[in-house]
A and B are shown apart, each in its own frame.
Chain A
Amino acid sequence: MAWVNAIIQGVLTGGLYALFACGLSLMFGVMKVVNLAHGDLAVVAGYLAIGVITVTHVPVLWSFLIVVPLMAVLGYVLQRTLIQGALDRSVLITLMVTFGLSVVIENGLLQFFTANSRGIGAGLALVSGSFTLGSQIQIGYLPLLIFAVAVVVLLGLQYFLSTSRYGRLIRAVADDQEAAQLAGADYRHVFGIAAAIAFGTVALAGIAYGMYSQLAPTTGTDTILLFAFAAVVIGGLGSLWGTLLGGVVLGVAQQIGAQINISDELLAGYIVFLAVLVLRPQGLISRRASS
């Protein structure tokens, strides 16, 4: 029964990891940008939420209404300035610039907010509450909610990309930037929109992680970025459903690892990641198979 429990908990945390990963996946899919500051931006969003809640006294759960648009604007601006500037030069420059950004954000947070970790909405019934299934399986409301949010976000993103006007533009630009430009699409603006969406999901991920666990300046790299990347690689590059599957596989691997030995949680996740890298480098769901 403990194993069933581990698997259920793993699936639920997998939703959180998929939420981490979808922004990374989207930015790579559209702009071929691997944003190494991805995780740190999630932490920024989490800190922003803490600030918003303290200042405006909005209910914890609704803080995303303020934080997500703010992060989306930040995403558009960053994409149009720093990231586009780097992209115009080369892929290597993009990596160096986003890595620089990551280090600057992490140390900036460390400098201004100390290394202390902080949670969002601790003590809320939603955060600590749970219900039981059978005798041993305990399911928290929050992990369930986060999983549902992840599924809704992925579904929404899929729907948006395949049916809406902007979605078509984004896909067109991702497929062939120059052809789209010739047809009248301003690819820089479209990149900005894609970055805004990606940053919006990053903001949700940051808030969700802050409620689920604790945020510290280093959480962005040693947890969020690496888990997001592992989920993307396990699931398969460029496939949103693959990302959800990747997140779930990572979550289950970690929970099973923790079941074997509590200190093996992280290691088990990474070993599954490396195994996928070696045995099935195209990911569990390859792009071709899904589209």
Chain B
Amino acid sequence: MSLATETTARPAEEFRVTRSQRNVAWTGVVALIVVVVFAMLPYIVFSGTTTILVQAFIVLTMASMWNLLAGYAGLVSVGQQAFVGLGAYFVLILAINGFSPFVALPIAAIGSGVAALPLWWLISRLRSGYFAIATWVVAATVMLIIEKFSSIGGGTGLPLPGFAGMDPTLLTAYTYWAGLAVSVVTLAVIYLLLRGRLGLVLTAVRDDEIAARSSGARVGLARMLVFLVAGAGCGAAGGVLAISQLQVQPGAVFSVQWTAVMAFATIIGGLGTIEGPIIGTIVYMVLQQTLASYNAWYLIILGLVAIFVALFARRGLWGLVDEHLNVRLFPVGYWLRTPGSSARHGRRGARGEGAQEAG
């Protein structure tokens, strides 16, 4: 049989390109239920639990943003603490000027995103390793500049005003909801961005940057957009951090520890998938809570596990799950289904034909 008859013999409608193997509507419903259950938690559990969950939301938000940078845009930033700190300070400054810290939170996120623009201009011409250390230097510089303003606490920081006379139980609940909202918005924004044009450009760049550029993909613009979004996201996480700690201290909010946390959670969970940082955050929180009384040990263990995963299991824990179960909680890619095959089979077939899942 010739190639022409081979291709015409197969009716075109038997090839299908889909977003997901399962019905997306169901995923949406499940996501909604999860969010509602999380939102109800302050009515059900003690405030100790919600306080831990606020930390988890902060880590999840930061890790998701770091994943967007490193996993999708190929930008390893070791200076994301610049935006965590900026977010915290935006909330502090607005609170000093009479805003409610909760109202200040979205403004802080936008402010951090805007601040990312000049910083991107400074470091965008550097690549890989030099980009990484340059972000670190930039973060150190931002901290030194902020420490020069004694009206916002100078080198020692300030307690966060704006909660005077507020019922502590209510404050804990509001903080929890703020953290939850930031996480949900973060995941939604990343999901929508990656489903759209930006996701396509980033995937093309990840596969072959030169080919992507010569096909007219605006790679620089895509990377800049990712950097700005990551700045805003880490700013929002910093804002929640300020609210949950009730104080802003430059050494604490600008600590490189934050980048370690977000990078390790992402690498362990699975780089380059939206689900990875969620798994990574759970692993991080479990380790941190179990080893909390052993000071720095949880970071040492996390670091060793992250090194191991980066070397030997590049797709992280979610990669293992995905390999065996073939599921996507956030379908951002496309599946090619070949005629007369089950979904699982279809994927293997698609791989064999060279057109695999993209995204």
A contacts, CB < 8 Å to B: 28, 32-34, 36, 82, 85-86, 89, 91-97, 99-101, 103-104, 107-108, 110-111, 221-222, 225-226, 229-230, 233, 237, 263, 266-267, 270-271, 273-274, 277-278, 281
Contact = CB atoms under 8 A, between A and B. Distances in A.
Given A89-B314, A92-B76, A104-B304, A226 B299 contact: no
Contacts of B138: 274
5 nearest A-B residue pairs (beta carbon) = A34-B129, A107-B296, A104-B303, A100-B307, A270-B141
B212 interface: no
Given A96-B76, A277-B123, A89 B141 contact: no
Given A89-B314, A108-B300, A99 B144 contact: no
6 contacts: A89-B314, A93-B310, A96-B76, A104-B299, A225-B133, A277-B122
A229 B137 contact: yes
B300 A270 contact: no
Contacts of B147: 263
Contacts of B141: 267, 270-271, 274
A110 B299 CA distance: 11
A30 to B, nearest CB: 13
A36 B310 contact: no
A96 B280 CA distance: 15
A278 to B, nearest CB: 6
A273 B256 CA distance: 20
A17 to B, nearest CB: 13
B93 interface: no
B137 A226 contact: yes
A35 to B, nearest CB: 8
B145 A267 contact: yes
Contacts of A266: 140, 144
B134 interface: yes
Nearest to B127: A91
Contacts of A95: 76, 128-129, 132
A271 B122 CA distance: 11
A34 B264 CA distance: 19
A101 B74 contact: no
A21 to B, nearest CB: 11
Contacts of B215: none
Interface in B269-326: 295-297, 299-300, 303-304, 306-307, 310-311, 314
A97 B128 CA distance: 13
B38 interface: no
A34 B70 CA distance: 16
B263 interface: yes
A82 B307 contact: yes
B306 A100 contact: yes
A92 B133 CA distance: 13
Nearest to A35: B129
Given A103-B299, A281-B126, 14 more contacts: A28-B129, A32-B129, A89-B310, A94-B129, A97-B307, A103-B264, A104-B307, A221-B256, A226-B133, A263-B148, A266-B144, A270-B137, A271-B141, A274-B138
B136 interface: yes
A237 to B, nearest CB: 8
Nearest to B294: A111
A93 B314 contact: yes
B125 interface: yes
B200 interface: no
Contacts of B232: none
Nearest to B154: A263
Given A86-B311, A91-B129, A97-B311, A103 B303 contact: yes
B310 A96 contact: yes
Contact of A92 (B70, B126, B260): B70
A96 B299 contact: no
A41 to B, nearest CB: 15
Contact of A33 (B129, B260, B304): B129
B15 interface: no
B303 A107 contact: yes
A111 B300 contact: yes
A100 B304 contact: yes
Interface in B74-114: 74, 76, 78
B130 interface: yes
Given A36-B78, A229-B133, A91 B128 contact: yes
Which of B133, B140, B148 is packed against the most chain A CB atoms within 10 Å? B133
B267 interface: yes
Contacts of A233: 130, 134
Interface string B240-280: 00000000000000001000100110010000000000000
A96 B137 contact: no
- Which of B123, B126, B145, B303 has the most A CB atoms < 10 Å from its CB? B303
Contacts of B136: 221, 225-226, 229
Given A34-B130, A36-B132, A274-B122, A107 B78 contact: no
